[in-house]
Structure 1
Amino acid sequence: MVPVEMEVGDPRGWDFVDWVGPDASACIFRSLDDPSDIVRAAAVSRSWRRFVVENEFSKSLCLRICPEIANFSSAEEVSRSPTQPPPIAPHAESSHDVHLKTLERDYRIYSYLSGALVSTSPSMDCILQCIGASSTDNFPDETIENTLIPHDRVKHRPSYWSSGGHDDPDAPETLTYRLNSDMCIVDEIKLQPFKAYFQYGHPIYSSKAVRFRMGHSKLPHGSDSFVTVEDENLMAIADENYVWTYTSPEFPMLQENVLQSFKLPRPVLCIGGIVKVELLGRVQKQEADDRYYICVCHAQVRGRSLSPVFMVDTSDPAGYSVLKYLPDAKILRAEDAMLDDGSESLEWHSLVARYRRMRHLAIMNVLIGPEEFMDEDDIIGGVLMDEDDLGGVLDEDPFV
Structure 2
Amino acid sequence: MSVFLHEFKKLWNPKVLLAVLLISLFFYEFFLSFHIEYFPNGRPALDMQQIYAEMIEDYGHEMDETEFKDFQKKLEAAKEEAGVYLQNNDTAQELGVTSYEEYRKLYNEAENGIDVHEKIDKLHAEIMFDKDIDVFWEIQGFKTVQSHYNRRGQWNIKDTKYSSAQKKAEQIYKETDLQSILPFQIYENYKNLIQYTGILIVIVIFIVIGRLYLPDQKKGLLQLQYTSKMGRGLFWSKFSAGLMTTFLLTTMYLGVFFLLYSKNDTSMFWSSELSSFSFGWPLLSWYDFTFLEYIGVTVAIIYTLAFCTAVISAMISRMVSSYMVLVGLQIPAAILLILLISSFLLVYVFSLTNALWVYWVILVGLIAGSGGFLFFRSRREQRVDIT
After TM superposition, the score normalised by the length of structure 2 is 0.20
Which structure has the larger Rg over C-alpha atoms? 2
- Please state which structure has a larger fraction of its residues in helix: 2
After TM superposition, the score normalised by the length of structure 1 is 0.20
- Please state which structure has a larger fraction of its residues in strand: 1
